[in-house]
Chain A
Amino acid sequence: MLLNSSTKRLYLSLCNVANYSSSKKYYDIIITGGGMVGCAMACKLAKEPALRGMSILLLEGGPNRNQYDFNAKKNTFDNSYSNRVSAVNKSTIQLLQSVGAWQIISDLGLCNVVKEMRIWNSGGGRSGGVNNMLTFNNDDDLAYIVENDIILGALYKQINEEKSITVNYNSRVNQCNLPDSHKDLATVKVANGETSFETSLLIGSDGYGSKVRSAINGQQYISWEYGQRAVVATLHIQSDEDDIYKGHVAWQKFAQLGPLAVLPLDNKTCSLVWTTSYEEANRLAELNDNEFIDALNDGLSEEKESNNSSLLLADDAARIVSKVLNKYCQLNNNDNQNRKIKSTPPVVIGVIKDSRASFPLGFGHACQYVGQRVALVGDAAHRIHPLAGQGVNLGFNDVIELSDQLNHSVLAGADIGDLNALLNYETAAQRHNIPIMLGVDAIQKIYGSSNNFVPPAITTLIRNVGLSFCQSASIIKKLLSDKASGLPV
């Protein structure tokens, strides 16, 4: 009886093997989603010495965009900036360097370094009040602003040189079956193709609506919408010749409706990320370019005058706190005190044609990043508010952690889809990501929204005191800017 059942099992498994080989194509690793994070994942894995020779399939939903023409990009000036940019931190740059993509970007000068960040918030009650500008500047560079298309282009250039990577375009994942045990393989079906693929390790980098994520058994996905949209555009600003950091300053204002960021692309060109309510975003979308510029300058510089006495009181209280703090910490930030006078908001003088767009914002956290033969990276695992520019950096950090773990476990003779290695990745990635996600969400909640539960006077007080406190306490500033640069604090 026992013999009988085991023969039967053997027969069945042989049948399975036969089936697999006939209708399904096998790859060691399949990555779904050829965005920045998915491409970086493919490149990084292909270059990992321990994984050399493993076959990698990258499934991209979109069409094959002709190879990015870097030289053309170099020769045409401004006007050609795209409206989607990323602020990449040091650890991301190290990753891009390790796959050879950063060299392409920096050799052609397609990145712009941020040397200083200037953050301020709406002054509460009084008009014209940029009374409290927090400045960050490090001896090292804070971040680089690069267009998403350029990062993608550089990564695809590297991918095309790797023989082990196959890229299938127009291949949106339709269905994926994950195994219950490590003895079976994961299978992926593509929407418009008859073929399905089999793999030892499926990596989901298919964005915040991830199909792979929802296929993980027992997955819980915590998410909410912020009720805000990010309005993006590429801007011309008036360059300030006296500014020593000219062209390398990132501005961020915490306005009443949400944070407003202006990121430098070159001396006179900036990229805008303006978080605001749905209604306001719709209103802005209907304005013509000149009206939009006016609205933007209004948003950047002045505040609507308010007669609300409690707001004025909160503002005064914040001023007193900031004076007291400044007095005690004067030794630390003499420089900033002196330069404070020059810290005025940028003046927008033009917006590049057709560069305006907007998209909705939300928060998302997958409780499980991994499962049997599956791992999530990037927005598939986590989605955050763009106010700190950390979203893509978290994604790239996932790439670093996952490739590290896979490298270690494969060198120790484990299967590429070994669950222990994936669980190690989950622990490492979540330990890094969750504090940042919660921090960004908290900043969003304090600075970026008008909620009805907390009286505006109190939020104004917290906002102003919070900024003064950060400005004065150099240690916190150092910590924040180090954390933002992605290197161990």
Chain B
Amino acid sequence: MKDYWWNSNGPLNALHSFNPLRVSFIINGLTNMKKIKTKNIGTRQSLENIKILDVGCGGGVLTEALARLDSHVTGIDPSKELITIANDHAKFLRNKNIKYLNESIEEHVTSNTESYDAIVTSEVLEHVSNKYGFLTNCVDCLKPGGSLFITTPNRTIFSWLSVKVIGETFDFIPKGTHEWEKFICPHELQSILEINCKCDTISINGLSYNPFTNRWSWTDSTDVSYAIHAVKNT
């Protein structure tokens, strides 16, 4: 299980190669919101002193990247096993502010309302059944004016083909990882965020993945997968 998460040549290599894109998405989003100090832009300290919550951190692939950029990051995941893996691996980080908690967002929100500058939930929402409850809890943890970053696959025929049919047949994605019926379309997500959670959507960007080069890139089409940046109203 440990090798499953942290072998960058292993089954989750698509998740590892996704890091540069999603980290730069978060940094750009926070830069636009003027949350990043000018002196830190374009350096290894770009997220200095920014409090981030990674909801559904899994083995900590994204969490560690955020910690390396000097943010104060907390990763939560309901799976005890994954948190153990994440904690084990975080030992290799030197002098970084990283913390893992084995709890769900429902538990976490009770003692952490309005305490984070940014919330990241990357490739998580498609596994959640109660999206409305999940998103409200996330936004409750966010300080007013804080940013919410979500990446998730769309629910279209293209995402079904690429994730379920091609991805799982050719082993780009481990079998049984996703249930296509749970996927959410950008407009559905946007309406939950804007109507129920009192957020403003800043941007929605399409994502594409090339399994042969193992590279992610931004595209105009959100048909397969997308990233969304929303800001909580002050």
Contact = CB atoms under 8 A, between A and B. Distances in A.
B53 to A, nearest CB: 16
A219 interface: no
B97 interface: no
A414 B20 contact: yes
B44 A414 contact: no
Contacts of A410: 44
B177 interface: no
B43 A50 contact: yes
A410 B89 CA distance: 18
B176 interface: no
Nearest to B65: A413
Interface string A10-54: 000100000000000000000000000000000000000111110
Given A13-B91, A418-B8, A419-B8, A411 B44 contact: yes
B164 interface: no
Interface string B182-214: 000000000000000000000000000000011
Interface string A164-185: 0000000000000000011100
A427 B13 CA distance: 17
Contacts of B23: 412-413
Given A415-B68, A419-B8, A408 B20 contact: yes
Interface residues of B, number: 30
B8 A411 contact: no
A49 B89 CA distance: 27
Interface string B8-31: 110001001101110110010000
- Grouping DSSP codes into helix (H, G, I), strand (E, B) and loop, the B interface class, with mixed when no group exceeds half, is helix
B64 interface: yes
A49 B92 CA distance: 24
Contacts of A79: none
Contacts of B27: 411
A414 B65 contact: yes
A420 B8 CA distance: 7
B139 interface: no
Contact of B42 (A6, A50, A53, A418): A50
A52 B8 contact: no
A415 B89 CA distance: 13
Interface in A46-67: 49-53
B19 A413 contact: yes
Contacts of A418: 8
Nearest to A14: B91
Contacts of B68: 413-415
B19 A182 contact: no
Interface string A399-421: 00000000011111111001110
Interface string A49-91: 1111100000000000000000000000000000000000000
B7 A181 contact: yes
A412 B24 contact: yes
B6 interface: yes
Interface of A: 6, 13, 49-53, 181-183, 408-415, 418-420, 427
Interface of B: 6-9, 13, 16-17, 19-21, 23-24, 27, 42-44, 46, 64-69, 84, 88-89, 91-92, 213-214
11 contacts: A181-B7, A408-B20, A411-B24, A411-B46, A412-B20, A412-B65, A413-B19, A413-B65, A418-B8, A420-B13, A420-B17
Given A6-B84, A183-B89, 8 more contacts: A50-B43, A51-B44, A52-B44, A183-B6, A411-B27, A412-B24, A413-B23, A418-B8
